[in-house]
Amino acid sequence: MTWLWFFAKIGVALGIIFSLGPVCIMGDRKISAWIQGRVGPNRVGPWGTFQPIADILKLMMKEVIVPDGVDKVLFLGGPLIVFIAPVFGYCVIPFGNQIGEEKLQVVNLDIGLLFIMSVLSVGVYGITLGGWASNNKFSLMGSLRASAQLISYELTFGLTMLLVVMMSASADPLKSASVDLSKIVLHQAEYGWNIFGGATWWGLPSGLIGFVLLFTCAMAENNRLPFDMAECEAELVGGYHTEYSGMGFAMYMFSEYCSMILSASLIVTLFLGGWSFPYLTDPADHSFLAGVISIGVFFTKICIILFLYIQLRWTLPRFRYDQVMSLGWKTFLPLALVNIGYMAVIGVFLEKP
């Protein structure tokens, strides 16, 4: 029975990531078309809904060209690494409440947040290795940019996560802070979402700033458009995947969307109350129906965040590389530090038992 549950949960987690992936690709193209006053893909299947399938089929049937002078192992391994990382990360995301005794989370790690943190950074190895192995200056430049950007924004990312951990401890001084994602969500379900400051009114500015910071950093880490320094067509041909074709390119493309979904889930889990929604879900209700509803709530929230991602991509122009760096180091990092400083100091003075 436990094994059955285990596989069912893996199924749901993989289902979320692999079903939303093509939907995201499609959504990206359709929404960009609508915003630009176009129709978008509409030939394959009804309203063009089979377009992502056609895309993937096309890329699968294309020849994988391995240029002379590349490091074959790393060249072919790069896409694999980026592809696997977000899937790995998904195993600690709580995508629903409990059904009976079973938490709706593939593995309930005590160190969920740290696990996510490390897995999120593994993805950039794939990009860096792929770009370096390509033996092409543009690819190398793109991958270097990707790693520089990731390191810069990882700091703010981590500090914002720290803020969440502090918030999840703030309501009940006797309870210690937790990096267990399911506990963070439960705390939000009970006391209020972290974006609104968690349990306390004075946390509100902190929560809002934290949300904006996390959202932006997640975007920067996924190399999404306002921050897509790594594949900047205007300067770097195609960036790190210039030399890739066929399946290698498909995996890079798909993994961008997968890690988008992972970070959207992370944002939802950390700041938007995970699977909880007032009056719709009840943390104490462990029936099957309530579990399904909580999965639905979680799914809807991810979709909203993903939509925001896509819309932002087609709204904002791309940053210049030095602007990205100065935004990360000179604005976001101090802001995040001040933010957790505020949270810590006020927490100590106002919440002393």
Least separation, in Å, of the C-beta of 171 and other proteins? Answer: 28
Q: Is 331 in the site for other proteins (CB under 8 A)?
A: yes
**Residue 107 near residue 13, CB atoms below 8 Å:** no
Which of 54, 84, 117, 335: binder of other proteins (CB under 8 A)? Answer: 335
Tokens 């810069």, residue? Answer: 152
**Between 45 and 69, CB nearer to other proteins:** 45
Least separation, in Å, of the C-beta of 31 and other proteins? Answer: 7
Least separation, in Å, of the C-beta of 281 and other proteins? Answer: 28
Least separation, in Å, of the C-beta of 58 and other proteins? Answer: 21
Least separation, in Å, of the C-beta of 35 and other proteins? Answer: 5
- H or E, element range at 306: helix 288-313
Tokens 């900047």, residue? Answer: 232
d(C-alpha 235, C-alpha 231), whole Å: 9
Least separation, in Å, of the C-beta of 36 and other proteins? Answer: 8
3-state helix, strand, coil in the chain (%, to 5): 70, 0, 25
Provide the mask over 18-57, with x wherever binding to other proteins is found by CB under 8 A and - wherever it is not: -------------x-xxxxxxx--x---------------
**Between 316 and 350, CB nearer to other proteins:** 316
**Total residues belonging to the chain:** 353
Least separation, in Å, of the C-beta of 196 and other proteins? Answer: 17
Residue 39 phi, psi dihedral angles, 5° rounding = -100, -35
Least separation, in Å, of the C-beta of 265 and other proteins? Answer: 22
Bridge partners, 99 (sequence order): 102
Select from 130-138, 245-253, 292-300, 323-331 the region that touches other proteins (CB under 8 A): 323-331
Closest-CA residue to 298 (of 313, 277, 312): 277
**Between 15 and 334, CB nearer to other proteins:** 334
Supply the angle between the helices 246-271 and 137-170 in degrees, to the nearest 10: 20
DSSP state at residue 323: H
**Residue 259 near residue 86, CB atoms below 8 Å:** yes
**Between 244 and 271, CB nearer to other proteins:** 271
d(C-alpha 241, C-alpha 254), whole Å: 13
**Between 187 and 313, CB nearer to other proteins:** 313
Least separation, in Å, of the C-beta of 30 and other proteins? Answer: 10
Sign of CA dihedral 196, 328, 324, 154: negative
Which of 330, 337, 345, 350: binder of other proteins (CB under 8 A)? Answer: 330
Considering only residues 191 to 250 of the shown chain, the ones binding other proteins according to CB under 8 A are 212
Which of 45, 67, 173, 334: binder of other proteins (CB under 8 A)? Answer: 334
**Between 216 and 265, CB nearer to other proteins:** 216
**Between 137 and 330, CB nearer to other proteins:** 330
DSSP state at residue 239: G
Least separation, in Å, of the C-beta of 316 and other proteins? Answer: 7
Considering only residues 297 to 316 of the shown chain, the ones binding other proteins according to CB under 8 A are 311-312, 314-316
Residue 190 phi, psi dihedral angles, 5° rounding = -85, -45
Residue 171 phi, psi dihedral angles, 5° rounding = -70, -45
Provide the mask over 246-285, with x wherever binding to other proteins is found by CB under 8 A and - wherever it is not: ----------------------------------------
* Binding footprint of other proteins, residue count (CB under 8 A): 20
**Between 101 and 322, CB nearer to other proteins:** 322
Tokens 């989370």, residue? Answer: 105
Q: How far is CA 352 from CA 11, 107, 167, in A?
A: 45, 35, 14
Helix/strand/coil (H/E/C) assignment for every residue in 46-106: HHHCCHHHHHHHHHHHCCCCCCCCCCHHHHHHHHHHHHHHHHHHHHHCCCCCEECCEECCC
Residues that bind other proteins (CB under 8 A): 31, 33-39, 42, 212, 311-312, 314-316, 327, 330-331, 334-335
